Structure 1
Amino acid sequence: MTIELKVQVVAKETIGPSSPTPHHLRSVKLSVFDQLAPILYTSVLLFYTSNANTSSRHRSSCLKSSLSNVLTRFYPLAGRIRDNLSVDCDDGGAEFVDAKVNLPLSHILDCPCPVLLRKLLPIDMESPEASAGCLLLVQANAFGCGGLAVGVCVSHKIADASTLSTFIKAWSAASAELLGNVIVDIEFPPLDTASARFPPQVELAAMSPTVVLPKARCVTRRYVLDPAKITPLAASEAVPEPTQVEAVVALVWKCVARASRTNDPRRPSLLSQAVNLRGRLAEPLPETTVGNFVGGFKVEIPPQADEREMELKKLVSDMREAKREYFENYTPRLSGGGVSCMAILEAATEFATLINSGAVDFYNCSSWCGLGLYEAADFGWGRPAWISSAGVEYKNSIVLVDARGGGLIEVWLTLSRGDMDALDADEELLRFASLNPTVCGSCIA
């Protein structure tokens, strides 16, 4: 008999900064990137196995204390957004939820299920509260076996994946310090760097979100791929050394485009690959710069493309060329001021038009690979056994995450039911991908 996984909320608490935010820091402007960001939460789940030296209650207490300490450095996360123009840093606090799970952690790690994973998050990722309520929410899920899952949700209006990673690294360092472990101090740039370079635009304050990601009756699945087996097949004279992300994205895109064309072969397939702009600006910003600094280049598979046009070598070459053109033509316009804001708004509008037009199969791809959370997210009781994105509910989404142990890549794929059914029969994908395998090391939970 299958036992249903149940998550019981035990307590909710508001965690504010350990010391009041100074009056002169009580308002932080959004950047124009932040203003245009979709209303949702950027979320991650961190899984930890049992630890003989720390109980679940003690770990929860340490998480709360260290969160309060780190919020003195990330004080906007304890505030509220006002009129899509600024964050009122009133120390209103982050929400911290303690929860109990009725099954052992191995139940999750043996067969990860997106629907179950979302139960471990403190709020729906698509909640409108991302622009009107708490900007940071945490849920500490204690498993009966002693395992712990920490679900973190940060409003996308003030944080992209890079910012979420920066925050978690600082928080885990603060927690390890509380437990008496040696840590490396992390330097952070001023929190107004983004808005100083790309100031908010008053005319955007009252606008509806430019980008509204499409929702439909979709299915999310997790695949694990070994890029070392794919990358050599993607190499060509044009791109002799493709990156692992390029090779994996090309393979997945090729297969999902082929699956979609079983229903309508006349539709073009368009991939938008998100890129971190911090280091690509004429005056680069530190990788720890807080806020949204994401752009995206687009590449197309034309209608009724033959197999030659869909070879991995061709797709990777097209992706590399599209990325080169994007950085040559778009990022030079991001020098700051009104011209930059116009370029950013034009790009967001074009993205929204394409994603909402219905005239193309539009795939939105982002990579969380290389963020380094497996190494850094040690709160004082060991590194995570697994890190999960929890998937998303938006149609045609492709999210890449480092797999535990290094070397492999997890792909979280959200498609319509019809496209996912067609993908199930794709022999090329199944030759390189394992469908939802057990998380390595789950037996130690």
Structure 2
Amino acid sequence: MMMNAAHTIISRELVKPSSPTPSHLRTYNLSELDQRSTHAYMPLILYYPNNELCSLTPDEKVMVMKKSLSQTLTRYYPFAGSLHTPTSPYIDCNDEGVLFVEAKNDCQMKMLQQIMFFHSPFRPNLLGVQVNHFACGGMAVAVSMSHRISDGGTLGLFFTLWASVARYGSTDHKEVLTLNPHFIQSPATTNFLPPESALLNPTRRNTITRKFVFPNSNLSDLKNKVLKLAEGDSTLSINNPTKVDILTSLLYKTAVVATTSNSPSFKPYFLTIPANIRNKLVPKLPPTTVGNYVATMLLTTRHESETSLSLLVSKIKEQKMELERIRSMQLARQHNDSVLSKLENENLENDNRTFVCTSICGWPASKLNFGWGNPEVASVTYRCSNHIGSFLMDAPNGDGIHAWVTLEKPDMERFQNDKELLSFCQN
């Protein structure tokens, strides 16, 4: 057992698929977009309060989760495999299993950094789970998946199917969601080596993550402000912006101000936004397609005058239109390589001027019911990836958006006290 203050690791084991992977599926060739992705881990944590209506003991809940995870892995068979090196173009679907960690916390349910356990630069396993029991009877379920095989959409669908199987007891139950994964593989001879990039593999930073809550009423006020700022300016392309677009603009603007306020001169700053392109490719890909089917939008801010909210929203709209031209995997790869090349030319290796904004809004994280009710809170952490940026997800109660923002500590102090940000934030 390993102990850290009130946090105790009870057990570690590998959960294998409930049935072996057929021999003809033992090698899973990663798509060209997957091969260009970093082997960083994407973390998602769901917090479940003690449900007195559920008769299961904590041990019984864990047994349900392990059994349903094993059943779910028969469909998502590559997730139970391993990579031989960080740049391997394929996954060995050897049914090695998924690391499943159980822990207890001698405190009331709260968000703990110890919940996330993936910190090493390279792990051969692609997926890990940690279940944490709290003194109050609540529990937290943390899943961490390699970006080498999954984007946020894939992680969400896997989590959704797993919870559905746990709730109903079998993948064959009539009530289990029909979320069969769709796999696409590159030819076995293809090897798209990921570029050597500090942007994909950022250096260790003294970062801190904070949650900011934006209710729907405040987001409506923010939208009205953006539209009013754009009045009379025919150069701006703003037509009914989404909540995610306007909030992304506000967070990015605030980060730019916080990061550059103590600099003697304004340096160029960059916003990157990964966007799902499954429905843009020809032919369109099913939503359940496994992998990194994203293209990156890039906004460049070279002068302080370019931080206007209306201008930023307009630029996001323009970038979305650019993505409409992507109709193939090859074009997506070329687009992403072009974005990376532009950033590399800016000599950002040891700087914090790239803000990554990811959104899983629209994915019902608050409805992932394993059989003992919906989660009360959902959270993420960027401590595994060291990227400066934000992660947006719908509020569990449906009222607005939760933004998890990661910045270097001195910048966060200025960010969280920004008057404009606080005028729209519930915190």
Normalised TM-score (structure 2): 0.87
Partner letter of residue 99 of structure 1? A
Matching of residue 363 in structure 1 with residue 355 in structure 2: yes
Tell me by how many angstroms 1:340 deviates. Answer: 6.0
Between the aligned partners of 1:222 and 1:212, the Cα distance in structure 2 is 24
Partner of 1:266: 266
Tell me by how many angstroms 1:215 deviates. Answer: 3.2
Partner letter of residue 6 of structure 2? K
Between the aligned partners of 1:424 and 1:185, the Cα distance in structure 2 is 40
Matching of residue 311 in structure 1 with residue 303 in structure 2: no
Partner of 1:32: 32
Match of 2:76 among 69, 74, 96: 74
**Residues 204-232 of structure 1 deviation map (CA, whole Å, 9 limit, x = unaligned):** 28x65672234322222111112223122
- In structure 2, the CA distance between the partners of 1:352 and 1:175, relative to structure 1 (3 Å rule), is farther
Partner of 2:121: 128
Tell me by how many angstroms 1:352 deviates. Answer: 4.9
Gaps of 5+ in 1: 436-445
Between the aligned partners of 2:398 and 2:242, the Cα distance in structure 1 is 15
How many residues align? The count is 406
Partner letter of residue 12 of structure 1? R
Tell me by how many angstroms 1:202 deviates. Answer: 2.6
**Residues 299-357 of structure 1 deviation map (CA, whole Å, 9 limit, x = unaligned):** 1222242xxx43322221122112212433xx14x255xx7655554444445555735
Matching of residue 215 in structure 1 with residue 204 in structure 2: yes
Partner of 1:202: 191
Partner letter of residue 107 of structure 2? L
Tell me by how many angstroms 1:391 deviates. Answer: 3.7
**Residues 104-144 of structure 1 deviation map (CA, whole Å, 9 limit, x = unaligned):** 21xx1xxx4xxx2x2112423xx2334xx211111111112
Between the aligned partners of 1:378 and 1:73, the Cα distance in structure 2 is 20
Partner of 1:281: 281
- RMSD across aligned positions (CA): 2.5
Between the aligned partners of 2:387 and 2:329, the Cα distance in structure 1 is 34
- In structure 2, the CA distance between the partners of 1:356 and 1:386, relative to structure 1 (3 Å rule), is same
Partner of 1:247: 246
**Residues 139-158 of structure 1 deviation map (CA, whole Å, 9 limit, x = unaligned):** 11111221110111111111
Partner letter of residue 90 of structure 1? N
Segment drifting more, 62-71 vs 30-39? 30-39
Aligned partner of residue 418 in structure 1, secondary structure? helix
- In structure 2, the CA distance between the partners of 1:405 and 1:295, relative to structure 1 (3 Å rule), is same
Contact 1:194 1:290 in 2 (8 A): no
- In structure 2, the CA distance between the partners of 1:5 and 1:323, relative to structure 1 (3 Å rule), is farther
Partner letter of residue 202 of structure 1? N
Partner of 1:443: none
Segment drifting more, 271-280 vs 70-79? 271-280
Between the aligned partners of 1:123 and 1:71, the Cα distance in structure 2 is 20
Match of 1:327 among 315, 324, 329: 324
Tell me by how many angstroms 1:241 deviates. Answer: 0.8
Partner letter of residue 68 of structure 1? S
Aligned partner of residue 202 in structure 1, secondary structure? coil
Between the aligned partners of 2:412 and 2:51, the Cα distance in structure 1 is 39
Higher percent of residues as helix:
1
Matching of residue 6 in structure 1 with residue 6 in structure 2: yes
- In structure 2, the CA distance between the partners of 1:201 and 1:89, relative to structure 1 (3 Å rule), is same
**Residues 404-431 of structure 1 deviation map (CA, whole Å, 9 limit, x = unaligned):** 2012211111222332232244211111
Matching of residue 225 in structure 1 with residue 218 in structure 2: no
- In structure 2, the CA distance between the partners of 1:368 and 1:200, relative to structure 1 (3 Å rule), is farther
Partner of 1:379: 370
Between the aligned partners of 2:240 and 2:246, the Cα distance in structure 1 is 10
Contact 2:182 2:286 in 1 (8 A): no
Partner of 1:91: 95
- In structure 2, the CA distance between the partners of 1:184 and 1:161, relative to structure 1 (3 Å rule), is same
Sequence identity, in percent?
A: 30
Between the aligned partners of 2:32 and 2:6, the Cα distance in structure 1 is 41
Gaps of 5+ in 2: 232-236
Contact 2:214 2:426 in 1 (8 A): yes
Between the aligned partners of 1:382 and 1:33, the Cα distance in structure 2 is 36
